[in-house]
Homo-oligomer: A and B are copies of this chain.
Amino acid sequence: MPHFSGMDDDRQDTQTRRPTLSQVARAAGVSEITASRALRRDGPVASDTRERVERAAIALNYVPNRLAGTLAGAASRQVGVILPSLSNIVFADVLKGLEDRLEGDGYHPILGISNYDPLREERLLRDLMSWRPAGLVIAPARKTDVTRGLLTAADLPVVEIMDVDAESADMAVGISHRGAGRAMAHYLAGRGYRRFAYLGHGIETDFRATQRLDGFRDGLSEVGVTLGDVLCLPGPSTVPLGREGLARLLAEAKTPPEAVFFSNDDMAVGGAFHCQAAGIAVPEDLALAGFNGLSIGQALPKPLTTIASQREHIGFVAATHLLDRLAGGNPPRVTNVDFRLIPGATA
């Protein structure tokens, strides 16, 4: 970096570099610190002085350098966000809720996608920490000790999102996936179904889906029913995977199920398409249930029986609690966002 050492530092600055606070201050005829206070509206500054500074800033097209500001002691207004995926609309919704709330307070997310890879998650965590964010929002890929340790050592506000079943290092905002699975088991059993199957996607990567399956099993056993066939196909959940998966599940099932619980709506919509193509009457021949409450499921000729997971709301609440904490407040450590069972017409 060129240093213009010794000479008048601002001689060429107007041409070469971005305008600095010092130039704004000089243009307004005040000291640097007064200009700083005026632009931040912090501390006592006479109103005509502030106006003069603001005019100078606009005239010079001044954009503050928050790297310098944060280094000098101002609170950072960046928030590290780590999500396991963006292929699934679920996390895009969460991110939308997050960004929306953060932006309202002048904060910005720095994003990292872990692809459900704990090693990548760990690297992301370190990388994002190097930007000294004000806080962290993370949807953990898995609960590993390393991640746990890093989060605890991070020494800044952390919100773990999506589920509230596991222990969290600091704050948590999400739903109980176990509870959601259980609720669906009770609902379906209450509708009279007794022979159940489960169709899921890459279980090794999505532990929240596993929790729903566990909860589903528990819920069934509470009413004296045992879960039948469980088929988990590798890879992320997609509509085509659900479609092919159901075909395979029905072909391989030892006892034909009356109802299938899918790992989520993408899979379930695929299942609905298979039934339609194969002439299987839903829900008379086979009942279908999903999870998430995606609009696509509700727009099907027969709206899907599912559970709405309030994803955007989870992001919004996570950001709200983080900002609250940063403002010195004391938000709840665990926020159990309600899920809502949507009866639909497929079960």
User: How many angstroms between the C-alpha atoms of A294 and B238 in the bound complex?
Assistant: 11
Contacting residues, chain B, for A96 (C-beta < 8 A): 86-87, 113
A117 CB, min distance to chain B CBs, angstroms: 11
Contacting residues, chain B, for A67 (C-beta < 8 A): 67, 70-71, 76, 131-132
Q: Flag whether A248 is at the interface (Cβ < 8 A).
A: no
User: How many angstroms between the C-alpha atoms of A18 and B155 in the bound complex?
Assistant: 9
User: How many angstroms between the C-alpha atoms of A345 and B148 in the bound complex?
Assistant: 50
User: How many angstroms between the C-alpha atoms of A320 and B76 in the bound complex?
Assistant: 29
Contacting residues, chain B, for A63 (C-beta < 8 A): 126, 129-130
| B131–A299 touching, CB < 8 Å | no
Q: Flag whether A140 is at the interface (Cβ < 8 A).
A: no
Surface stretch bound by B, among A99-107, A178-186, A282-290: A99-107
Which chain B residue has the least Cβ–Cβ distance from A312? B87
| B92–A108 touching, CB < 8 Å | no
User: How many angstroms between the C-alpha atoms of A18 and B71 in the bound complex?
Assistant: 13
Binary interface encoding of chain A residues 35-76 relative to chain B, with 1 for a CB under 8 A from any of its CBs, else 0 = 000000000000000000000000001011111101111001
Contacting residues, chain B, for A76 (C-beta < 8 A): 67
| A86–B92 touching, CB < 8 Å | yes
Q: Flag whether A146 is at the interface (Cβ < 8 A).
A: no
Q: Flag whether A124 is at the interface (Cβ < 8 A).
A: yes
Which chain B residue has the least Cβ–Cβ distance from A298? B240
| B295–A273 touching, CB < 8 Å | no
| B109–A66 touching, CB < 8 Å | no
| Interface members, chain A 289-320 (any B CB < 8 Å) | 295-296, 298-301
Contacting residues, chain B, for A298 (C-beta < 8 A): 240
A38 CB, min distance to chain B CBs, angstroms: 17
Contacting residues, chain B, for A99 (C-beta < 8 A): 86, 111-113
Q: Flag whether A153 is at the interface (Cβ < 8 A).
A: yes
| B108–A239 touching, CB < 8 Å | no
| B239–A299 touching, CB < 8 Å | yes
| Interface members, chain A 137-179 (any B CB < 8 Å) | 153, 155
| Interface members, chain A 194-241 (any B CB < 8 Å) | 238-240
A residues at B contact (CB < 8 Å): 1, 18, 61, 63-68, 70-73, 76, 78, 81, 86-87, 89, 91-93, 95-96, 99-100, 103, 106, 108-113, 120, 124, 126-132, 153, 155, 238-240, 242-243, 269-270, 273, 276-277, 295-296, 298-301
Q: Mind listing 5 A-B residue pairs with CB under 8 Å?
A: A66-B130, A67-B132, A99-B112, A240-B295, A273-B299
Known: A86-B93, A109-B110. 5 other contacts (CB 8 A): A92-B95, A99-B111, A108-B111, A108-B127, A111-B111
Closest 7 CB pairs of A and B: A1-B73, A92-B92, A239-B299, A86-B96, A240-B299, A66-B130, A277-B301
